[in-house]
Chains A and B, each alone.
Chain A
Amino acid sequence: DSGVTQTPKHLITATGQRVTLRCSPRSGDLSVYWYQQSLDQGLQFLIQYYNGEERAKGNILERFSAQQFPDLHSELNLSSLELGDSALYFCASSPLAGGVGELFFGEGSRLTVL
């Protein structure tokens, strides 16, 4: 058990809809990372938050947004969903802001868009 909790584990929805994925980091970790893993593109970095502020941005679509709340949990919002958004979405936490902190992954949220 990594100590990182992601909900929901599975989600099935229709095109055009909006969903919210939630991540609770390990106790004390200030950094939260979001990643997308699809069959055709592998793992991709979406965004990082550190102590409530956006720290780094990757290949995150404009239809997607994220935030980190004062209690350090984070949410990833996906809107106007398309078939291609079907993927595993992972959250990871780390105690540090930069890259030198160990990463602890949640079990992922599997999104299926029909």
Chain B
Amino acid sequence: KNEVEQSPQNLTAQEGEFITINCSYSVGISALHWLQQHPGGGIVSLFMLSSGKKKHGRLIATINIQEKHSSLHITASHPRDSAVYICAVKGLGANTGNQFYFGTGTSLTVIP
């Protein structure tokens, strides 16, 4: 059983398209993180959410705590957005031991 489910697993888009990546989780959380990993392997944290919505440039992240769901949107996608996007949640409370749980990632390719 995976505590974090991401969809889609793979995504190919044309440059300029609007992209949505979804994340659902099954545990109580203190925060949800969206991470970006480029082919070189390094990981960058894009957003940390505990409620509501955040925007940074062309990236928007939302979370619905009641539905245990988060989305990452990329507007006007660009080839440099090609990367793996990973959803991670920090568990809250004794049941989760305050662990991190990760989705399997969404591999995004943006074609010029």
Q: Which residues in A have some Cβ–Cβ distance to B below 8 Å? A: 2, 33, 35, 42-45, 48, 55-58, 88, 90, 92, 98-105, 107-108, 110
Q: Which of A57, A99, A107 contacts B90 (CB 8 A)?
A: A99
Segment of B16-24, B59-67, B70-78, B98-106 in the binding face: B98-106
Bound form: Cα–Cα A35–B99 in Å: 11
Could you tell me if A42 and B104 are in contact, using CB atoms closer than 8 angstroms?
yes
Bound form: Cα–Cα A33–B101 in Å: 13
With contacts A57-B97, A99-B90, A99-B92 taken as known, whether A105 is within 8 angstroms of B102 at the C-beta atoms is no
Q: Which residues in B have some Cβ–Cβ distance to A below 8 Å? A: 29-31, 33, 35, 41-45, 48, 50, 86, 88-92, 97-102, 104-105
Q: Which residue of B lies closest to A105 (CB)?
A: B43
**Pair count A-B, CB < 8 A:** 69
17 additional contacts (CB under 8 A) given A45-B101, A99-B30, A99-B90:
A44-B102, A45-B99, A45-B102, A56-B97, A58-B99, A58-B100, A98-B30, A98-B98, A99-B29, A99-B31, A99-B92, A99-B98, A100-B30, A100-B48, A103-B35, A105-B43, A105-B45
Could you tell me if A108 and B41 are in contact, using CB atoms closer than 8 angstroms?
yes
Bound form: Cα–Cα A45–B35 in Å: 14
- State how many angstroms separate the Cβ of A105 from the closest Cβ of chain B: 4
Could you tell me if A43 and B31 are in contact, using CB atoms closer than 8 angstroms?
no
- State how many angstroms separate the Cβ of A6 from the closest Cβ of chain B: 11
Kindly list the 9 A-B residue pairs having the minimum CB-CB distance in the complex, ordered from nearest. Answer: A99-B90, A99-B30, A45-B100, A99-B31, A56-B98, A43-B102, A105-B43, A103-B45, A58-B99
Q: Which residue of B lies closest to A102 (CB)?
A: B48
